[in-house]
Amino acid sequence: MAAHNVLEACAQTNTVDKVVFTSSLTAVVWSNHRDNPTSHDFDERNCSDVNLCKKFKLWHGLSKTLAEKTAWALAMDRGLSMVSINGGLVMGPDVTISNPYLKGAAEMYEDGVMASVDPRFYVDSHICVFEDVSSYGVISASTTSSTATKTP
């Protein structure tokens, strides 16, 4: 609901040129393509499978997927320029193996889509995307990964 409210507010003003939406890699990596994960496209048309997230109780991925789907639907409907930055696991001193955010991390690693991001790099990627008037779509941000893609 928050994503909807923010995008709706942006659509109702003449001063917003672009929305930079902060999301997560978990919004695009959970699909039934586990047999060939490298063929999975990471863009605004290919979000994580909601039913798969529910089945395996991947609540973080589910919430990020639903928020991103809502944001893209509204941005396209209202003609807003939007970029979604889907960051990997934000590394910091409070992230431990018992953190529920890490649920599914082993499977992501197996599928070659486990990625981490330094908070400074994540901030810099937001600034670069905001300043680049031609940026659009989904950008995966990570400082260490087995995959990092930019979809035009």
Q: What is 14-41 written as a DSSP string? A: SS---EEEEEETHHHH-SS-TTSGGG--
Name the active-site residue from 55, 57, 64, 103: 64
Token pair belonging to 103: 């649920």
Burial of 47 (0-12, 13-18, 19+ CB in 10 A): buried
Has 69 been annotated as catalytic? no
**Closest C-alpha to 117, from 86, 150, 147, 142:** 142
Task: List Cα–Cα distances, 130 to 32, 125, 133, in angstroms.
Answer: 33, 8, 7
CB 67 within 8 A of CB 79: no
What residues act catalytically? 64
